[in-house]
Chains A and B, each alone.
Chain A
């Protein structure tokens, strides 16, 4: 074996004697790598879905819409084509699979769809023929098959039934399509969607038209938001959480590495004395680091993929309910994902290990480690940390001040920066605060030698414990902040749901039968009130007299009756609730918070919306919260909406008279009008569905949050376990001086408990600040709604308990070992 090999083997032999340290190191790397790469896998997979959605036919095409929002049909298409305009028709709508999942149907005309010749690919001709003619074909992504209850093997040519009983054209899977999307010929799509000749839109190649033809509006592809842009904020939040986990994991690594070096100091000196050059020694240590890093990172990435696989369904549910963006529920990972994960984990490892290497490089060959000398150095370090913490706090303050001047909904990155700066300031201040606290307590307790010793000893331990405590503080604060935000959201959301879902039964008749069913209900004595809704889509043309970039908005009609008015939540009104409701009945409008924030609309503004008879001007009299809706929405009284925008009828809420049961009416409705199960739901069902969606939405947040906290507790445990052996050596003299083992154990637990409690206490205000940032800035920017700030004392107690529990658990194991150690062994350890 070469001398180099011998030296490396000698260095590594340390881990044979201390397998626990090796395990700790690998554990840290593994955890950091797993969380980071897991989240990145989710993001990569979602991005793949967006890319497929964007590649789908019309994302980069310009669109033509009628200037007066009348419906488009076949005649528009033919007239424009025969005038030489290269338009192509698209019809888009939703169908419900037999299992209840909603799927988007896109009907295309492959013969005119822009792109090079639709027939050009070899063998396409007969495929085209099958696509164009009965029984047609349904193209869909393989991951969509599950929604239709089919396995991949059984999929080809299958004709699954939809909820309404209709069958889909024979399936033909195609991996290039986005999930939850069925693509078929426009002829069969219009049949399936019951659209007649109606079109959703006309598309033209980007830039093909210099101007819109008369009577139409031209919407350029670049003016539209791609799904990836809308969801960027969500992925940014996920990345921020993953980064947090990575940092916490690297704290563990740093602690383990520091310990492994400390314990090998004499070994290093011996090697130096035997003639191994310092530079070689550093090289060998770096090599060791790389080897460990590779093993840990690879294991981390592999587990990350598993983690992502487990979390992805929830993420997909979140994205679909928050943004209406469809993401595949199976992982799609590009090659660079693997390299990226490895790079970040290894990079982080070297960052964490660089301090250790630096210290090893400056190691005096003959010097002996001196605790006091160390301490002086540490005091200077604490001073620097306090300064850095102050700078970080100043940065947070500056960002906060800047954000306060911005219109709401802007500055998502700055808001994340604010949270990061806050957490960093807290973490940096923790060790100086602890040190100052200990020093103060020490002076105060100068009459009680054992306590004074314990405080002084804790101060000596602080450099080692500080990192783990900082990690714990960050994890606790983030946990508390996110927990408060989600909890507050949940309360608000459930409240809001109660206020909005006031009817006992919800009926969704087909537009054709709406009036018939409504009339029948009008004659039923048990029905107290019918709450008809209507919905439609239009374009926002102007706010006040200022033309705005055209934005599609949803229209929603409600029946402002006695049941609905008292509870319906409003955030701002022009002249009080009563006046707002009166104005709504008279033809004024409410807008949802998302739209108000995005476009700076306040009560009193006048909106111009595209309507069949040209522009409709509406006065905004109130703003209402609309959680979970990805779109801007304008609310009108149902009769107004149906009359002025020729909107389609929507659902029908049925309020029963006091003391009437819903069940008999429901079964009467079902038999009389032959309704299927999805057409009629009772209030509890609707609420349950909504709550389910909400819970799934935040399942991912909760899971990541819990994982990060677990990692932080692990970091603390790791640090303490690493210290334990050394600690025993320091406790032995005390025992020799006559302090009983029981007291020693108690002292040790008290030391740790106090440090952890201090950390937990600091985490409380920090967590609240994080929560305030999340609620006040990040939520508004990411989702478009502002939530009230909720404080949960239970959550705060839990935070403190977590800190204490983690510390006591971490301190308990070594204490138990101490308790069991025969005193003689303690003394034997004191001997070098």
Chain B
């Protein structure tokens, strides 16, 4: 039954608009030109709470939460909650009608434990910058902060004017039916400030090539409940929220990226972005070293090295599930390994997203945990 429904929708949507010979720029077109979108100011000053909300003048944006949790038995659990915004066209005169759309919203929800990996995806059309935004299927408001698609939401628990809206959040999502139902309701409390990452240099110089604006709140402590395989589990752990917006998230030469967000046992946080090109010279590697007080140090390719150690076959692709990450200046030589290779997100834009462990490369002493995202494989 579902097969032919999909076929109908597929036939319906498989338009002849795309020239099949035209290569897609980067992963999922994220490196494509953003014609008609105003270029992003290279050193834009940020203002909150406005910048917690959507930036309809840019093509792409996301609110991206990952959490490393543990259940009552101490077994590790991972969750993901993501809301993507993509502008369907540059902001122009607003179109009339409740159904008129200029934004495409996409949300991904995942819960994983051991070999189990549950994923759900939903879509919505939207219009931003409208007074009646609350009456839409999906959207984000800055004050009070609330990001939602259907009943999946991420919202602030901070009373207005008493601190940054992202300091305390609630995230909730439920998906699937019957035995396959899964979901979570979690409270997030930040124990450090919001941090802004250094501008990734795509190396093209022009304003158009300016990379996205990238913020993180890596200091969340989490408590709450997770539903999985018919069980309701009390959980606790750490979470990391990413905010990113821009017209292109990588340069056209990039094929995809590997992204690490690590909670180190020392209290430091480490973000590493590895934008892969066809050749070594096309590859961009950068990161951010974040101290427990939120002080950041941008890391460039000199200060970092990253090497895949082993690959596993996942969903028909070879994916590096163990990496060696070294920061010579900090005296760190780490192995970052997936807790389980089965973390493939078989969504409309497919990628790998899962929890990792961090250990000393020599000796194997545990050094922390975190999340790894691999795209474009």
User: Could you tell me which A residues sit within 8 Å of B by CB distance?
Assistant: 55-57, 60, 73-75, 77-78, 81-84, 89, 107, 109-121, 123-134, 137, 139, 156, 172, 174-177, 183, 185-187, 190-191, 196-197, 208
Contacts and interface: CB of A to CB of B under 8 A. Distances in A.
Interface in B98-112: 98-102, 104, 106
B48 interface: no
Nearest to A197: B98
B14 A60 contact: no
Given A56-B8, A57-B8, A115-B5, A133 B14 contact: no
A208 B2 CA distance: 14
Ranked 6 nearest A-B pairs via Cβ? A127-B15, A119-B348, A84-B151, A121-B10, A111-B123, A74-B98
Nearest to B89: A133
A120 B6 contact: yes
Contacts of B204: none
A111 B97 contact: no
A395 B274 CA distance: 84
B16 interface: yes
A131 B9 CA distance: 12
Contact of B5 (A55, A73, A89, A132): A55
Given A84-B151, A117-B347, A131 B174 contact: no
Interface in B120-175: 121-125, 135-137, 148, 150-151, 174
27 contacts: A56-B8, A60-B1, A73-B98, A74-B99, A78-B135, A82-B137, A82-B148, A89-B99, A110-B9, A110-B12, A111-B104, A111-B124, A112-B124, A115-B9, A116-B2, A117-B123, A120-B6, A121-B14, A124-B10, A125-B348, A127-B13, A127-B15, A129-B104, A132-B88, A133-B102, A176-B7, A197-B98
B317 interface: no
A125 B29 contact: yes
Nearest to B22: A126
Contacts of B6: 115-116, 120-121
Given A78-B135, A126-B15, A133-B89, A109 B2 contact: no
B18 A123 contact: yes
Given A115-B6, A187-B100, A123 B20 contact: yes
Interface string B224-261: 00000000000000000000000000000000000000
Nearest to B11: A176
Contacts of B17: 126-127, 129-130
Contact of A187 (B4, B9, B99): B99
A128 B13 contact: yes
Contacts of B18: 123, 126-127
Given A81-B124, A81-B150, 9 more contacts: A74-B99, A119-B106, A120-B6, A124-B13, A125-B29, A127-B17, A128-B15, A129-B17, A187-B101
A186 B101 CA distance: 10
B330 interface: no
Interface in B321-369: 347-349
A112 B125 CA distance: 9
Given A57-B8, A121-B13, A132 B123 contact: no
A559 to B, nearest CB: 35
Contacts of B15: 124, 126-128, 130-131, 137, 172
Contacts of A75: 135
Contacts of A73: 98
Nearest to B3: A116
B95 interface: yes
A792 B9 CA distance: 54
Contacts of A133: 88-89, 101-102
Contacts of B124: 81, 111-112
Interface in B175-202: 177
Nearest to B15: A127
A135 to B, nearest CB: 12
Given A82-B148, A127-B17, A131-B15, A115 B99 contact: no
B4 A55 contact: yes
Nearest to B174: A84
B297 to A, nearest CB: 38
A57 B9 CA distance: 8
A175 B7 CA distance: 12
A177 B8 CA distance: 8
A111 B348 CA distance: 12
A49 to B, nearest CB: 14
A107 B349 CA distance: 25
Contacts of A187: 95, 97, 99-101, 125
A117 B151 contact: no
Contacts of A112: 122-124, 137
B291 to A, nearest CB: 40
A175 B8 CA distance: 10
A131 B349 CA distance: 18
B93 to A, nearest CB: 11
B12 A183 contact: yes
A132 B125 contact: yes
B78 to A, nearest CB: 22
Q: Which of A111, A133, A187 has the most chain B CB within a 10 Å cutoff? A: A111
Given A84-B151, A112-B124, A78 B11 contact: no
Contact of B13 (A60, A89, A118, A208): A118
Interface string B43-86: 00000000000000000000000000000000000000000000
B100 A113 contact: no
A64 to B, nearest CB: 15
Contacts of B348: 117-120, 125
Contacts of A82: 137, 148, 150-151
Contact of B123 (A118, A131, A197): A118
A109 B10 contact: no
Given A75-B135, A117-B347, A132-B88, A139 B12 contact: yes
A118 B16 CA distance: 16
B281 to A, nearest CB: 30
Q: Which of A55, A56, A77, A117 has the most chain B CB within a 10 Å cutoff? A: A117
A172 B122 CA distance: 26
Contacts of A57: 5, 8
A137 B5 CA distance: 20
B137 A81 contact: yes
A500 to B, nearest CB: 39
A665 to B, nearest CB: 38
B16 A156 contact: yes
Contacts of B11: 174-176
B170 to A, nearest CB: 15
A113 B6 CA distance: 10
A83 B9 contact: no
A167 to B, nearest CB: 17
Q: Which of B4, B106, B124, B125 has the most chain A CB within a 10 Å cutoff? A: B125
Contacts of B136: 78
A83 B136 CA distance: 12
Contacts of A156: 16
Interface in B282-297: none
Contacts of B150: 81-82, 84
Nearest to A130: B17
Given A190-B97, A197-B99, A123 B14 contact: yes
Contacts of A177: 12
Contacts of B12: 110, 131, 139, 174, 176-177, 183
Nearest to A128: B13
